[in-house]
Each structure stands twice: as structure tokens, then as C-alpha cells.
Amino acid sequence: MSVASDDLTKPVPPKRRLALKPHLIQDKIFYGIARSAAVGAVLIVALILGYLLFMSWDTLAQQGPAFVFGSQWSAADPENLVFQIGPMLWGSLLIAVNGMLLAVPMAIAAAYFIEFLANSKIAKIATMVVDLLAAIPSIVIGLWGVGVFTPVAAHWAKLLNENLGFIPFFNNTSGSFVNSPFIAGWVVAVMIVPIITSVTREIFSQLDRDVINAATALGASRSSTFMKVILPTSSGGIVGGALLGLGRALGETVAIFFVLNLSFEINWVEVVESRGGSIASMIVSFFGAASPEEVKALIAAGLVLFVITLLINWLAAVIVAKAQPWRK
């Protein structure tokens, strides 16, 4: 008891200050550098977005909603400038969707093959090759598209037209099968397949093997394990990877530039017809001879493309974050 009373009589020691903020000058510099890098990154994005908005304001205000939906582009008469990117925007989307329809099944199949069917040696090599190919510059794919793939794909397009021509998609009145959205779609697919495969394979490899083994032990077959266990648990990640590929497909420029015939006559669904559109390719083919007003219109087109890819990326981030809550 006496000990306790002793304790009570002692004065309360002053509260110690917890050093929550850096007080050393070096630490302040260290955190200052990190913080200024963050500010720098924010500034870069703000600068790009702000400048694009500022430059394209004139065009957007002058052309109105027709800028996105109309299909005419003439800078010849300075009194009556008409800039409308409807066919290019639609063409970009058409090619991207075309590429996704081809790339996603291929990528899922390849990832499933690498992760669950192939033996470990083949899987290791295939993983390496896929990761390497994901880094191949798109102009190399474009070169392959021009030099090697176009005749093959034109042949496929012709077969589709001859045998399934009654479906509006495969309608072709010009008789020319090269430089079509179909070929551009294939080229884009070849470009993004390694990207989607690499993401999907990564997600398959992170799956809990115990759950798969449990399904097998309960008598599930290969296909029911795939449909009921593997796909549902990894679908979010796969969608994220696919949207990542979609973003790349929409922004693809030079590969499409060489395998597509740009045309301001809108091509709704006739993918094997020899005309199409792509905003990114349009920018590259027009900027050289463009007047200042036309450059502004091109910037507005680029802004539209950027906003679309931003939306897609944001969607991908949300979906992946929801599917993989452990990755904060």
C-alpha cells in the first residue's frame, strides 16, 4: 500500500511528444522531393488535359455536337470550316471491338493452357514469350500486318464474304478486301493478345489452388471447375486486363495507319469493306499539312479519344479493385 501511495505522490511526468512529422532537415528534404514529384505528376496531367481543352475549345464551340456525330471534314474554305469526326470515332470503336472479340477468347484460352494444361517447362517458355511479345513495339506489328498478314487476312475476308455474305457484317460491294477494319481488327488483336494473356495468366496463377483441388475432390470435371470456380473468381481481373487492352487498341496509331484505308464515309458494320476510320491514325495522317484551325480540330479529336480511354481505364481500375480487394 505504501508503494502505491508513493506512486500517487510522484508528479505526473510531462507528456512526451510523439514525432509524427519529420523534424530533421534531411528528412524534410526527402519527403519534400517525394511530395514535389507527386505535385509534378499532377501538374503534368493537369497541364495536358487543360491545354487540350483550351486548344480544342474553339472547335468544340464552333462545331457543336456535330463534331462527334457528323461525317464531314473540310478545311479548304476558311470561311466555312467543317470538322466532324463521326466516321473516325465510330471506326476506332469498330476496330477496337473487332480486336477485342478476337483477342479476348484467344487470350483466355492461352492463359488457361499455360496455367492449367501445359507442363511446367512449356508453360515457363510460353510465359516468357508472351511477356516479351507484350513489349513488342506496335510499329513492328504494323510492319508484319503490311508485309505478311494482309494477304492472308484478305483471303479470310473474301471467304467470309463469299460464304456468309448475306450477313450485313460481311457485305462487300467494292470487291477489294485489303485495308479493311477487319484486317485492322486482327492486327490490333495480335497486338493486345499478349497483354491480356499476360494479365489473365497472372490472375490464374494467383488463384487459390486449394479451392480448385476441393472442386476436383467433390467430383467436378475440368469444364465445371473452369466455369464455376476459375472464371467467377478471376472474372474481375480478366475484365480489367481486357479493358487495358481496349485502351491500347483505341489509342493505336501507326499499325492501323498502314493497314487501313481512312474514309470519311461512315462504315457502320461492314468490316470487310475497304474503308474505315481511326482517330489516332487520322491525327498522324493530317497533322503535317494542317492549318492552325485544323490542328485545333485534331487536338479536339485527340481530346475525345483521351476522354474515352480515360473512362475505360477508370472502369478497369474500379473493376479490378472490386475483384481483388486485397490489392489496395
* Angle subtended at Cα 97 by Cα 128 and Cα 133, rounded to the nearest 5 degrees: 15
Site for other proteins in 112-141 (CB under 8 A): 112-114, 117, 128-133, 135-141
Q: Which residue has the cell 467467377?
A: 232
Q: Which is nearer to other proteins, 266 or 300 (CB)?
A: 300
What residues contact residue 275 under an 8 Å CB cut-off, 6+ apart? 174, 179, 180, 261, 262, 263, 265, 267
Binding test (CB under 8 A) with other proteins, winner from 38, 101, 167, 211:
38
Report which of 190, 138, 182 is spatially closest to residue 276, judged by C-alpha positions. 182
Q: Which is nearer to other proteins, 139 or 268 (CB)?
A: 139
Q: Which is nearer to other proteins, 64 or 105 (CB)?
A: 105
258 binding other proteins? (CB under 8 A): yes
Site for other proteins in 235-254 (CB under 8 A): 247, 250-251, 253-254
Q: What are the backbone angles phi and psi of residue 276, rounded to the nearest 5°?
A: -170, -165
Q: Which is nearer to other proteins, 45 or 167 (CB)?
A: 45
Site for other proteins in 267-326 (CB under 8 A): 280, 283-284, 287, 292, 295-296, 298-299, 302-303, 305-306, 309-310, 312-314, 317
Q: H or E stretch including 73?
A: strand 73-74
Q: Least CB distance from residue 57 to other proteins, whole Å? A: 13
Q: Which residue has the cell 462487300?
A: 172
Piece of the chain touching other proteins by CB under 8 A; list 63-71, 104-112, 207-215, 264-272? 104-112
Report which of 282, 327, 290, 244 is spatially closest to residue 92, judged by C-alpha positions. 282
Binding test (CB under 8 A) with other proteins, winner from 143, 212, 215, 239:
143
164 binding other proteins? (CB under 8 A): no
Site for other proteins in 7-26 (CB under 8 A): 22, 24, 26
- Chain-centre distance for alpha carbon 105: 16
Q: Which is nearer to other proteins, 38 or 61 (CB)?
A: 38
Alpha carbons 47 and 205: distance in angstroms, whole number: 39
211 binding other proteins? (CB under 8 A): no
Alpha carbons 270 and 94: distance in angstroms, whole number: 10
Q: Are 116 and 213 in contact (CB under 8 A)?
A: no
Site for other proteins in 74-103 (CB under 8 A): none
Q: Which residue has the cell 497533322?
A: 287
Q: Least CB distance from residue 98 to other proteins, whole Å? A: 15
* Angle subtended at Cα 166 by Cα 161 and Cα 168, rounded to the nearest 5 degrees: 85
**Contact letters (x/-) for other proteins, 47-76, by CB under 8 A?**
-x--xx--x---------------------
